[in-house]
Structure 1
Amino acid sequence: MRSMSMKLHSKEQAKEGEKEVKEPEEQSVRKWEPRVEGFLKFLVDSKLVYETLEGIIDHDHTAFACYAELRNTGLERHESLAKDLKWFEEQGYAIPVPSLPGLTYCEYLKEISEKDTQAFICHFYNIYFAHSAGGRIIGKKVAQKILNNKVLEFYKWDAGELSQLLQNVRDKLNKVAEKWNREEKNHCLEETEKSFKLLGNILRLIIS
């Protein structure tokens, strides 16, 4: 899944990227002009997506027992986002309601989680791994520009060394995928572009 996702990055985002820059969020983050209001929209929609994703994983899915393999990974983010939004509120900012990009993604996650486990696993991977890689860089650059270098809880992992947490999840995903045939594995990979599109819609809120 990593090689597929790298192809969907632009050269400005990653040295392995192959995609031509078309959207503002595909440019190097150094060129962004974020505002707190847009960043808050991004955080609110991100919290909704993580709440939805983590709620699906924690639910007892009789038909998709593989989801249980992905519980309590240490990568969970919705509680950290709740703390960050509380901090913004304490600073006097009005917290917006979730917007269309987040609501749309959550509905899609719910839909595929019930009928398309390969597609859902692809989104699980991209949501967490994109945030732990490029997402951290974006968070740092945005904090430098508008938050006086404050590091939000969203960009901290207290459950252990991040590299080890990610490797543990890779091992779990490989275990899940061992039971798939070639067609199912290909279907999982083919969902990557959809995942990038939906995540990109949320990321774009930062510079909205």
Structure 2
Amino acid sequence: MRFVAMKLHTKDQAKEGEKEANKTPLPKWEPSIEGYLKFLVDSKLVYDTLERIVDKADFPEYAEFRNTGLERSEALAKDLAWLKEQGHSIPDASQPGLNYSAYLEELSKNDPQAFICHFYNTYFAHSAGGRMIGRKVAEKVLNGKELEFYKWDGDLSQLLQSVREKLNIVAENWTREEKNHCLEETEKSFKHSGEILRLILS
């Protein structure tokens, strides 16, 4: 799954990237606290959804991904409570988060391979590029404060490796078609997470 995800990056973003960089100049990257709050709220909705689905485990393999140490819901709840204490108004979830949450719910009931693709991409992307973006946004709008969203208990590389091993064990029981189907879902995962990420600039 990592190989397919990396190919969807540009050459500037990852050495395995195959997409051409956008030739039109991007607007100056100016995150706002309002946009960042929308991003955090929508992200929390997505993590709430993912974590509820693996707890409920409509398919037995979902139970493998409980209590991995990568969970982000509780950390985001703490961050939003802290931001509220600082006097910020916490918005309701917006359309990108609501759409993605509904899509994950639907997949989780009918399409475990596609759901696991989203699970993988959401947690692993946050642990990599997500942390870098978080640092840059914090410098601009939070005086450099590091949120709980970007902290993990324990060694992150070990937590990721453990989940990677579980994913490989689950996928061993899939047919070639099911494996391909899982990989084909990567682009949709990028589309949904990209829409939530863009809220930072809204």
Give the alignment's TM-score, normalised by structure 2.
Answer: 0.95
d(CA) in 1 for partners of 2:160, 2:177: 26
Corresponding residue of 1:161:
155
d(CA) in 2 for partners of 1:13, 1:41: 25
Once superposed, what is the RMSD of the aligned Cα atoms?
1.5
1:73 aligns with 2:94: no
**Unpaired segments of 5 or more residues in structure 2?**
none
Name the count of aligned residue pairs: 200
Corresponding residue of 2:175:
181
- Shift of the alpha carbon at 1:21? 3.5
Corresponding residue of 1:38:
35
- Shift of the alpha carbon at 1:2? 0.4
d(CA) in 2 for partners of 1:141, 1:11: 21
Alignment deviations for residues 41-72 of structure 1 (CA, whole Å, 9 cap, x no partner): 000000000000000000142xx100011110
Following superposition, which runs of at least 4 residues in structure 1 exceed 4 angstroms of deviation?
none
Corresponding residue of 2:49:
52
d(CA) in 1 for partners of 2:132, 2:57: 35
- Shift of the alpha carbon at 1:22? 4.3
d(CA) in 2 for partners of 1:34, 1:99: 17
Give the alignment's TM-score, normalised by structure 1.
Answer: 0.93
Corresponding residue of 2:184:
190
Give the % identical residues.
Answer: 71
Alignment deviations for residues 12-65 of structure 1 (CA, whole Å, 9 cap, x no partner): 3223222234499xx7xxx5210100000000000000000000000142xx10
- What SS is found at the alignment partner of 1:37? helix
d(CA) in 1 for partners of 2:188, 2:23: 15
Corresponding residue of 1:120:
115
**Unpaired segments of 5 or more residues in structure 1?**
none
Corresponding residue of 1:9:
9
d(CA) in 1 for partners of 2:29, 2:11: 16
- What SS is found at the alignment partner of 2:13? coil
Alignment deviations for residues 119-156 of structure 1 (CA, whole Å, 9 cap, x no partner): 00000000000000000000011111111110000000
d(CA) in 1 for partners of 2:152, 2:29: 25
Query: Are the structure 2 counterparts of residues 11 and 60 from structure 1 closer, same or farther at C-alpha, using a change threshold of 3 Å?
Result: closer
